[in-house]
Amino acid sequence: MPELPEVETVVRGLREPLVGRRITAMWHDWQRSIHSPAPDEFAARVTGQLVRSLGRRGKYILIHLEHDTLVIHLKMSGRLYVAAADARHEADRWVHVRFDLDQGQLRFSDVRKFGRVYLTSDVAALLSHLGPEPLGDNFTIAGFREGLRERKLAIKARLLQQEFVAGVGNIYADEALFRAGIHPARPAKSLTDSEATRLHRTLREALQTGIEHEGASINWYRKPDGGKGQSQNHFFVYGRPEQPCLRCGAQINKIRVAQRGTHFCPNCQPEPPARAAKS
């Protein structure tokens, strides 16, 4: 699933071809892609509106219109791109939602059909469940530490909870924990203040690096121009099981934490005592 760096890259790639364009029609062939409002109301409201700006909240793409905001979640396999009306692309065969523009089309291709499209006049209410943006000023060290206290679940699982911090997923949680030298299965509440402060910093670093390399094209993710991101070529641990750690040379391990494949270096990220005693 695209995470914050991938979604941010999509937003940046769509600004130039979308801002200033007017939506002239909407088409869909998979009703579940349209979350709210109902398709007929959605089409009637969105048609005629001008695209003012684009932004992001967590893993959600925000296309701000004159009166509403078009909100899109790519989920596992979604791709969003602008193309000339008569242009044909490989991803077109999975397009299930399309917005005709006064110049070109905005196409939402989604192989797995898990993606969702919303139209709302109140973005804050729609996304009120999300925690702070990890690259924003509201993501404070004090708030981060407080969110770890009294949490028995693994730190990796805590980082994946969107109400705790928005936009972090499996990839960048693994990368941040490696950078911080923290085992992914450690209970969140076991982190010291200094460890929490370090993880707060490395989480930002991992996400910024992901943005700099325009996201990770491991499965379906592609940039709006169809090109691949390069973040996968700069990972320390994610997707590198049984390969040598780039820092110490130990073999990268893969386990399951929070029902997710999780990569770590057993030397750079030592196991918590309780877990080590059981092994």
The CA distance from 226 to 229, in Å, is 10
Angle at 213 between CA 207 and CA 214, to 5 degrees: 85
Q: Specify burial of residue 163 (Cβ count, 10 A radius: 0-12, 13-18, 19+).
A: exposed
Res 1: pLDDT: 77
Active site residues: 2-3, 59, 260
Q: Is 104 left (phi over 0), alpha (psi -120 to 50) or beta?
A: left
The CA distance from 143 to 140, in Å, is 5
The CA distance from 165 to 144, in Å, is 9
Which token pair is 197?
């402060």
Res 271: pLDDT: 87
Domains in the chain with CATH codes: 4-126 (3.20.190.10), 141-278 (1.10.8.50)
Residues of the chain with pLDDT under 50: 277-279
Structural contact between residues 75 and 89, judged by C-beta atoms closer than 8 angstroms: no
Q: What is the dihedral of CA 206, 210, 12, 261, to 10 degrees?
A: -100
Res 279: pLDDT: 43
The alpha carbon of residue 151 and the mean position of all alpha carbons in its chain are separated, in whole angstroms, by 24
**How confident is the model over 43-64, as pLDDT tens digits?**
999 999 999 999 999 999 999 9
The CA distance from 181 to 171, in Å, is 16
